[in-house]
Chain A
Amino acid sequence: MLSRVAENLYWLGRYLERAENIARMAAVNYRASVEDSADEDEAVLWDALIHAVGSDVGYAETMASDAALTPGQWLIFSRSNPGSLCSTITHARGLARELREHISREVFEEINLLYLASTDAASSRGLRQYTATVQRGVAATIGLYDNTVLFDEGREWFRCGMFMERADMTSRIIDAKYYMLLPSIADVDGPLDRYHWLSILRSASAHEAFRKRYRGSIRGPLVAELLILDSAFPRSLRFCVSALERHYGLATTGTPRMRALPVARELALLDLELSSTDTGEIMRAGLHEFLGEFQSRLSRVHDSMMEDILRAVPASL
């Protein structure tokens, strides 16, 4: 498979997954801001989210120069924000257009519909409706991909992109707790703490899974266990890493072994570590520190995937 095509499929997977995550997190935020009254709280919630998805470049300047712009609009609709939901969908659609001969008509049409829903009229129909459209559209796209496209190398790179992004996003969602400050240490496990963890569960589509797993009240270490270590929950870090490991292996079956090895080894190590630790150990070392370390290792895996495989120039025939 062409290296350029493989890389584009990988990015298509990443952008679609990112779009769905932003949409879901924004919907949860929106709900919280409606439920949870005070204006200053609302701004704090959005700021935390914007920071979590790395959309803060140019944010302060644009907000200062445009009084009518709300943080929600910046995150969802703004074209000046390259990381906004609309921009992310536009990137994904640009890639899909370049990849048309590698994806099915159904997949392209679904992405194209999302793009058409993102132009002009989107902001007037409102944030909630648009994020719902994106969530459904991305889910449909991913489903159609697996039912209308060949299970070949390209599909594996698409899945690699998807799980890479999902692992990154889930770690950012959990880490958002670090920025949700409690008034005092006595509030740990109190109503506000529980409310914070609940919105983290919702942001990761994990509320129902949590209830099924634990049948008890929401507590931080349990949430962390579900979202980091549970091998059966499809958004947990452990699930994503082992999916990434599997899809990467399938994507590189034809690649010379020495080129494919560094990434495979790093993924195997990450997988092993996640399967041989527990929440007690993680909490003692510090959740925020653990997640920071996880994110930087993941980003090294991404870099080395680019250098060793997708952008590598074969030296000889």
Chain B
Amino acid sequence: MPETGDLLSDYTLLAGPDEMFAPDGSIRPKYSGLGSRLARWTERDFLARQAAADLDQLNGGVTFTVYQDDRGTERIFPFSLIPRVIDAAEWDRLEAGLVQRVTALNRFLVDVYTEQRCIKDGVIPVDVLATSEGFNLRAMGFVPPLGVYAHIAGIDLIRDQSGEYRVLEDNVRTPSGVSYVLENRRTMLNAAPDLFPTGSVAPVDDYPDRLLSMLNAVRPDGVASEDVRAVILTPGSQNSAYFEHSFLARQMGIELVEGRDLTVHNQCVYLRATTGLERVHVIYRRVDDDFLDPLAFRPDSMLGVTGLADAYRGGHVSIVNAIGNGVADNKVVYRFIPDVIRYFLGEEPLIRNVDTWVGTKPEDLAYMIEHLGDLVLKPANGSGGYGIVIGPQSTKAQIEEAREQVRANPAGFIAQPLQEFSTIPTFNGTKLEPRRADLRPFIVTGSSSWVLPGGLTRVASRPESYIVNSSQGGGSKDTWVLRRREDA
């Protein structure tokens, strides 16, 4: 690697495994093709392509909004050229494990809101549900079309020290990020087409079609397939994921609506059109449960549609994802999902959890309090990487403060060991450095489950960082699933 070699000259592996380089510094087989194509580039080639990629995303308005930033609301998601590569054998295992997990999550959700067998049989402690923010009484007794609650799931994975993929977090409310998967691929093909192994990376642009078919499949009873009117409900253009809402609407050719565009008459939902009112059958909502219907949930919500919850329970409109999913993806319930899989499917989980201690279990709590300095503490109901305390990187005072918080509100926290998860070479503005990366595959479930090949690879912003969330400055990459017998 004569010239690009300079970009990688000081590449120093971190404690966790690197996706591209083996511990001895050699390139791993799944990256060998990519490595040799990269070697044909000079440093200038690399910089030019990186600049082209950035410009492509900026000009295309591929942005997200940061709430706690007064410098302006939109930012591009920093994009880095070296992709995450997953070989065919790895992907087969992941795909099966993801379908297994989402199947179990859906069985669990139907059970929680109907018979609650898993509680009666002691799979999940009743107080875990009772204290869970995501449990929604409005969903009790309701089974959505096809028995699907989690139509779209984003399951966050990492590769641990030993190279094993583990589930870090389930997202079954309104997981976001899929638009960046599609846009990153487009940017990558525009900026660096010669980096691709010809014909052996699984395409990702099937997603909008799969999503649309699913929306059609979960239509209310009695509506003919060809009559289905589906819309996306967005909180509006100030929302951090607005780009994605609009992107998906465009890709599927369906209407993007705000709460004020919809109205309910006799439990049927209509949109306000220039020509009059038009019936809506399926709502892919990107608005949280709490804001969906001021009548049923938060009365101060300006984002929702009055009467929507009744229309939904009456079976006149389908809501995707269903109301009440938060009970399945909070961080305490996560601890019990492996048991949920065993209970409902009679199978061992194909992808394991990360070890987790929950404040609600007395023996877990004692361990957490004692070992806080070695653990990562997370708020049980938080997201976006906010409020995380990383023990090994904190001062004594910070740990003591965290300990007090846990004692005051044990149910509010979970803890996990600090994971030395895998890194991928990432451009830092001048050269390539290892950055920790996670992977969020997307699973779409209607009459069956389909997994988008790959998913969103997010990378931390700094070498010492363990947090990959975009709200914390993290970036993203293209993700390649290789077809059989091919090297990237």
**Interface flag for B249 (CB, 8 Å):** yes
Q: How far is the CA of A225 from the CA of B51 in the complex (A)?
A: 52
Task: Kindly state whether residue B40 has any CB partner on chain A within 8 Å.
Answer: no
* A101 x B250 contact (CB < 8 A): yes
A153 CA to B271 CA, complexed, in Å? 16
Q: Pick the most buried of B58, B237, B257, B270: most chain A CB atoms within 10 A of its CB.
A: B237
Contact B59 A4 (CB under 8 A): no
A254-B274, A256-B275, A309-B274 are contacts. A100–B265 as well, Cβ < 8 Å?
no
Known: A109-B60, A113-B59. A101 touches B256 (CB 8 A): yes
Is A2 a contact partner of B277 (Cβ separation < 8 A)?
A: no
Q: Known interface pairs A6-B274, A100-B250, A101-B246. Does A116 touch B237 (Cβ–Cβ under 8 Å)?
A: no
Asked whether A278 is an interface residue with its Cβ less than 8 Å from the other chain, the reply is no
> Most chain-A CB neighbours within 10 Å: which of B59, B242, B249, B258?
B59
Instruction: Check if A256 sits within 8 Å of B255, measured CB to CB.
Output: no
Give the residue of B60, B247, B250, B257 whose beta carbon is less than 8 angstroms from that of A2.
Answer: B257
Q: Name B's A-contacting residues (CB within 8 A).
A: 58-61, 237, 242, 246-247, 249-250, 255-258, 260-261, 265, 270-277
- Once A2-B272, A100-B247, A255-B275 are accepted as A-B contacts, the answer to whether A112 and B261 lie under 8 Å apart by CB is no
Residue numbers in A under 8 Å from B250 (CB-CB): 100-101
Cα–Cα distance between A222 and B102 once the two chains are bound (Å): 75
Closest residue on chain A to residue B249 by CB atoms: A101
CB of B59 within 8 A of CB of A1, answer no
Indicate the member of B249, B261, B272, B273 with the most A CB atoms within 10 Å. Answer: B273
- The answer to whether B272 touches A313, judged by C-beta atoms less than 8 angstroms apart, is yes
Query: Which residues in B have their C-beta under 8 angstroms from that of A94?
Result: 237
- Please give me the residue from chain A that is nearest to B59 by CB atom: A109
Tell me the complex Cα distance, A3–B258, Å.
Answer: 11
Chain B residues near A252 (CB-CB < 8 A):
274
Find chain B residues with CB under 8 A from A317 CB: 265, 270, 276-277
In the complex, chain A residues 1-60 whose Cβ is within 8 Å of any chain B Cβ: 1-6
A252 vs B274: C-alpha distance when bound (angstroms)? 8
Which one of A3, A105, A109, A251 contacts B273 once the chains associate, using CB atoms below 8 Å? A3
A254 touches B261 (CB 8 A): no
Interface string of A77-115 (1 = CB under 8 A from B): 000000000000000001001101100010011001100
Which of B246, B260, B265 lies at the interface centre, i.e. has the most chain A CB atoms within 10 A of its CB? B246
Note all chain A residues with C-beta closer than 8 A to B276. 256, 314, 317
Q: Per-position contact with B for A297-317: 1 when CB-CB < 8 Å, else 0?
A: 000000000000110011001
Q: Hey, which chain B residues are within 8 Å of A109, CB to CB?
A: 59-61
Q: Is the CB of B246 within 8 A of A100?
A: yes
Q: Do residues B274 and A1 form an inter-chain contact, with CB atoms below 8 A?
A: yes
* Contact call A310/B237, Cβ cutoff below 8 A: no
Contacts beyond the supplied A97-B61, A101-B256: 16 A-B pairs with Cβ under 8 Å: A1-B275, A2-B255, A2-B257, A2-B271, A4-B260, A5-B255, A98-B237, A101-B247, A101-B250, A101-B255, A108-B60, A116-B59, A256-B275, A317-B265, A317-B270, A317-B277
Question: Known: A97-B237, A101-B250, A317-B265. Is A3-B272 also a contact (CB below 8 A)?
Answer: yes
- Give the distance in Å from the alpha carbon of A153 to the alpha carbon of B260 in the complex: 21
Q: Within the complex, what minimum Cβ distance (angstroms) separates A161 from chain B? A: 14
Which residues of chain A in 232-262 are interfacial with respect to chain B, using CB atoms and an 8 Å cutoff? 251-252, 254-256
User: Would you list 15 pairs from A and B whose C-beta atoms are within 8 A, ordered by A residue?
Assistant: A2-B274, A4-B258, A5-B255, A97-B237, A97-B246, A100-B247, A101-B247, A101-B249, A109-B61, A112-B61, A252-B274, A255-B275, A256-B276, A313-B272, A314-B277
Q: Which residues of A contact B277 (CB under 8 A)?
A: 314, 317
CA distance A256 to B255 in the complex (A): 22
**Which residue of chain A has the shortest Cβ distance to B55 in the bound complex?**
A116
A297 vs B24: C-alpha distance in the bound complex, in angstroms?
80
**Nearest Cβ in chain A — how far from B298, in angstroms?**
23
From A98, A109, A251, A256, residue with most partner B Cβ within 10 Å: A98
A residues contacting B by CB (< 8 A) are 1-6, 94, 97-98, 100-101, 105, 108-109, 112-113, 116, 153, 251-252, 254-256, 309-310, 313-314, 317
Which of B261, B273, B274, B276 has the most C-beta atoms of chain A within 10 angstroms of its own C-beta? B274
* A112 near B272: Cβ-Cβ < 8 Å: no
The interface residues of chain B lying within 8 Å CB-to-CB of A3 are 261, 272-274
Instruction: Say whether A153 contacts B274, CB under 8 Å.
Output: yes
Q: A97-B237, A112-B60, A309-B274 are in contact. Are A4 and B256 (CB under 8 A)?
A: no
CA distance A159 to B255 in the complex (A): 21
Q: Which residue of A lies closest to B260 (CB)?
A: A4
Closest 10 A-B residue pairs measured CB to CB? A101-B250, A101-B249, A254-B275, A100-B246, A98-B237, A6-B274, A314-B276, A112-B61, A101-B256, A3-B272
Q: What is the bound-complex CA distance between A251 and B255, given in angstroms?
A: 18
Q: What chain B residues lie within 8 Å of A251 (beta carbons)?
A: 274
> What chain A residues lie within 8 Å of B260 (beta carbons)?
4
Closest CB-CB distance, B361 to chain A, in whole Å? 47
Q: Please give, as numbers and ranges, the residues of chain A lying within 8 Å of B60 by CB-CB distance.
A: 105, 108-109, 112
Q: How distant is B451 from chain A, measured CB to nearest CB, in Å? A: 26
Docked complex Cα distance between A94 and B236 (Å): 12
Q: Cα distance A113–B55 when bound, in Å?
A: 11
What's the least CB distance linking B435 to chain A, in Å?
28
Q: A48 to nearest B CB, angstroms?
A: 35
Known interface pairs A98-B237, A100-B250. Does A116 touch B58 (Cβ–Cβ under 8 Å)? yes
Chain B residues with Cβ below 8 Å from A105 are 60
Task: Write out the residue numbers on chain B whose beta carbons fall within 8 Å of the beta carbon of A1.
Answer: 273-275
- Measured in the bound complex, the distance between the Cα atoms of B224 and A262 in whole Å is 38
Residues of chain A contacted by B275 (CB below 8 angstroms): 1, 254-256
| Residues of the A chain whose Cβ atoms lie less than 8 Å from the Cβ of B256 | 101
Report chain A residues within 8 Å CB of B272.
Answer: 2-4, 313-314
A239 to B252 alpha-carbon distance, docked (Å)? 38
Q: How far is the CB of A98 from chain B (nearest CB, A)?
A: 5
In contact, A310 and B274 (Cβ under 8 angstroms): yes
A101 to B256, CA, bound (A): 7
For residue B261, which residues in chain A have a CB less than 8 angstroms away from its CB?
A: 2-4
Please, which residues of chain B bring their CB within 8 A of the CB of A313?
A: 272
Tell me the complex Cα distance, A200–B344, Å.
Answer: 79
Q: Which residues of B contact A100 (CB under 8 A)?
A: 61, 246-247, 250
Which chain B residue lies CB-closest to A310? B274
Measured in the bound complex, the distance between the Cα atoms of B58 and A112 in whole Å is 9
User: A5 contacts which chain B residues (CB < 8 A)?
Assistant: 255
The docked-state distance in angstroms from the alpha carbon of A97 to that of B270 is 24
A100, A108, A116, A254 — most chain B CB neighbours (10 Å): A100
Chain B, residue nearest A93 (CB) = B61
Residue of chain B at shortest CB distance from A252: B274
CA distance A113 to B270 in the complex (A): 36
CA distance A5 to B260 in the complex (A): 12
Specify which chain A residues have a CB less than 8 angstroms from the CB of B258 in the assembled complex: 4
A182 to chain B, nearest CB (A): 48
Question: Across the two chains, which residue of chain A brings its CB closest to B234?
Answer: A98
CB distance from A10 to the nearest CB of B (A): 10
